[in-house]
Amino acid sequence: MSPAEAHPGASDAPGALAWDIADKVVLITGGTTGIGRATVEALAARGAHVVFTARDAALGQTVIDEVTAATGNPSIEQRQLNLDDLGAVRDFASDFAADHPALHVLVNNAAVMLRERRSTVDGHELTFGVNHLGHFQLVCSLLPLIQASAPARILNVASDAHKWVRGIDFDDLSATNGRYGGRRGRQAYAESKLANMLFTRELAKRLDPAKVTVNCLHPGAVRTRLGRDTEATRFSEVFWTVIGTFFTTPEKGAQTTVWAATSPELTLVSGQYFAKSKIASPSKKACDDGAAAKLWKISEDLTA
């Protein structure tokens, strides 16, 4: 499907191709490692002012030093953010808005996949709390700045893993019914990635794509630290280590995010799922408008 098919009128709208990432302000969550780290470098190389979040300031400084040396772009900044604390997310957003006149691209990239059930500061299950709720709060808090910076883009790094589950278990969002231990931690992760997709769908309906677009994407199977804590048995640890040798590099994994952040032809494309740098088909569950509206309402209540 071409962008024009995805959004009729896209190609002939005035300004549809007027998008250049150079000098734009980009915020990437989880820029210390993996796909996020590779995205920081790729967008810095294209001249953006890149802000990334870190939890470890020393690690963040190492990323700044390495990326500045590799790209020659001195305009790279780290900010501390822990997505498992909703109050901290709100404070982060207001500090960010006070310090930055604009935010043109927000990449919601950070995520966890866990072996043991753990809780956020606010008492939510950690996978759902970080991967969905923390980013929901971040987007809602930064939306006035993003809208004032239009044209702007929001990108949610989701996953084809959303296809592993039948839907969101709205009766057990805190995952207390034994969804933990080995493979089941992966199930909680898959649900959180489906939440990323449903959030994208509902948010796209609420935004004017001529001002702010929101899309989600699958980066591919990428060799990163994600999932390092999930292996419950020696067998599954060896299994995933072997499988991991077939996975791609973080640099290749960042390509779809970079394409979605930089491509002029996507100026008016919103509410889509991308993979391999093109529009892809999500599962039916990810197109469930009822579930998307329900998740939005619950997320509003949980972050109130």
Does residue number 159 form part of the binding site for ligand NAP (CB under 6 A)? yes
Stretch that binds ligand NAP, among 4-12, 140-148, 168-176, 223-231 (CB under 6 A): 223-231
Active-site residue, from 96, 136, 180, 189: 189
What does the DSSP 8-state code read for residue 282?
A: P
Please work out, in degrees rounded to the nearest 5, the angle formed at the alpha carbon of residue 15 by the alpha carbons of 263 and 275.
25
Rounded Cα gap, residues 83 and 28, in angstroms: 13
* Local structure of 254: helix, strand or coil: coil
Order of strands across the sheet that contains 212-218 = 76-80, 49-54, 25-28, 105-108, 152-157, 212-218, 273-275, 278-280
Tokens read off for 86 = 């909703």
Stretch that binds ligand NAP, among 106-114, 178-186, 283-291, 295-303 (CB under 6 A): 106-114
Tell me, residue by residue from 237 to 276, as one string, x for binding to ligand NAP by CB under 6 A and - for no binding. ----------------------------------------
Does residue number 56 form part of the binding site for ligand NAP (CB under 6 A)? yes
Q: How far is CA 254 from CA 33, 55, 92, 96, 109, in A?
A: 11, 21, 25, 24, 10
Q: From the list 130, 143, 145, 197, which residue makes contact with ligand NAP (rule: CB under 6 A)?
A: 130
Whether the CB-CB separation of 210 and 147 falls below 8 Å is answered with: no
Catalytic residue list contains 189 = yes
Does residue number 110 form part of the binding site for ligand NAP (CB under 6 A)? yes
Q: From the list 55, 90, 118, 252, which residue makes contact with ligand NAP (rule: CB under 6 A)?
A: 55
123 vs 290, beta carbon nearer ligand NAP:
123
Rounded Cα gap, residues 277 and 48, in angstroms: 20
Does residue number 141 form part of the binding site for ligand NAP (CB under 6 A)? no
225 vs 276, beta carbon nearer ligand NAP:
225
Task: Report the site for ligand NAP in 178-217 (rule: CB under 6 A).
Answer: 193
| Among the listed residues 91, 88, 103, 109, the one whose alpha carbon sits nearest the alpha carbon of residue 31 | 109
Q: From the list 28, 35, 207, 286, which residue makes contact with ligand NAP (rule: CB under 6 A)?
A: 35
| Among the listed residues 135, 107, 108, 131, the one whose alpha carbon sits nearest the alpha carbon of residue 118 | 131
Q: Which residues are catalytic?
A: 189
Contact residues for ligand NAP, defined by CB under 6 A:
29-30, 32-36, 53-56, 81-84, 109-112, 130, 157, 159, 193, 218-219, 221-222, 224-226
